[in-house]
Amino acid sequence: MSLKDFPRPPQDLVDRYREVARCYSASCVFADVQKRGGVMHSGMKPIFAGKAVGPALTVRLSPGDLQDPLAALHAARPGDVVVVDAGGETETSVFGGLMGSLFRNLGVAGAIIDGACRDIDELRDIGFIVFSRAVTARGTHTMFSGRKDDVALSVPVQCGGIVVNPGDIIVADEIGVTVVPLADAASVLPLAREQAEREEATRSRIREGRSFEQLLEEFGRI
């Protein structure tokens, strides 16, 4: 099996996730229908507003000896979301603007980093969305030292307090990051669609001037 061939959800399922995720507060919707599960720590925030929805391409770096996750370029497919376990290190950036351009050229949807990034001005200008714990100017050592530590690809990782397996579906927006396990992806989708449609119907009724009691009578909850 090549690096690109880890289990991924069917493309039509991913497309339907992206369709549902056009709703308001997509990360909240997919969290709610998983009984508030799958949500990464609140510190995992986007460097600018946007969404990233797609299968997780997982990367595990070496704690205390971080390097850039460029090896993931060999495994990436269009629509993937790169999920990097950098051990929560917030003082050393493992992702920047040039790297973002390379992943964007491959059609990658975005990156989720349990660690730090930099070059956020460049990432914003090229439109490559990155979620991370922190932003710092300090980069990794490997570009100068030539040291090459192992980078594990397509393995289970810890990111934002959640175990992410290769092929799990990431739903990330300006509110937060929610993970849908690959095994549950097909069953979670219709629940999320129903939730998003109910919320939109509720918004419509509120615009019409319906009262709280009327909303409860129609929808059973707010």
Provide the CATH number for the domain around residue 49.
Answer: 3.50.30.40
Q: State how far the Cα of 36 lies from the Cα of 30, in Å rounded to an integer.
A: 8
pLDDT given at position 173? 97
Name the burial class of residue 33, with classes exposed (0-12), middle (13-18) and buried (19+) by CB atoms within 10 angstroms of its CB.
buried
Which structure tokens are listed for 65? 């000896």
pLDDT given at position 30? 98
Per-residue pLDDT at 14 exceeds 60: yes
> Is residue 38 a contact partner of residue 108, using CB atoms and an 8 Å limit?
no
The owner of tokens 């290769």 is 166
Per-residue pLDDT at 215 exceeds 90: no
- pLDDT tens per residue across span 185-214: 999 999 999 999 999 988 888 888 887 788
Report the alpha-carbon angle 37-135-141, nearest 5.
Answer: 110
- pLDDT tens per residue across span 152-188: 899 999 999 999 999 999 999 999 999 999 999 999 9
- pLDDT tens per residue across span 24-53: 999 999 999 999 999 999 999 999 999 999
Rg (CA), the chain: 18
How many domains does the chain fold into? 1
Domain span at residue 31 reads: 3-219
